[in-house]
Amino acid sequence: MLLKEESLKNFAPNLKIRRKNAHLSQTQVAKILGISPSTYISYERGKSYPTLPNLIKILHLFGVSIEDLMRDVPSASYLRHMHFR
């Protein structure tokens, strides 16, 4: 899969959706990954991206593929249905 700029824009919101679906805080995920909370928060804000080792940990933690984190972000109506805010 080629990483396109549009796909990278989807990474941060999809990461946040996966974390919330897992009922974890940003601090909890950071602790599991062995990184600082500020580093993890920067991933969710799209300010930076994880290293390959951390990306692999994220994929395993949430049970997803890289494609899942890069695909189009679900619509707002879908997210409301899934109880995301």
Q: Model pTM? A: 0.79
Q: Please tell me the predicted confidence (pLDDT) of residue 2.
A: 45
Check: CB of residue 1 under 8 Å from CB of residue 70.
Answer: yes
The CATH code of the domain at 5-81 is 1.10.260.40
Element (H, E) at 36: none
SS (H, E, C) 45-83: CCCCCCCHHHHHHHHHHHCCCHHHHHCCCCCHHHHHHCC
Mean pLDDT by 10 residues, the chain (85 residues): 63 94 97 98 94 96 92 62 50
Give the residue extent of every domain in the chain.
5-81
CA 19 remoteness from chain centre: 7
Q: Please tell me the predicted confidence (pLDDT) of residue 14.
A: 93
Q: Please tell me the predicted confidence (pLDDT) of residue 62.
A: 96
Q: Please tell me the predicted confidence (pLDDT) of residue 9.
A: 84
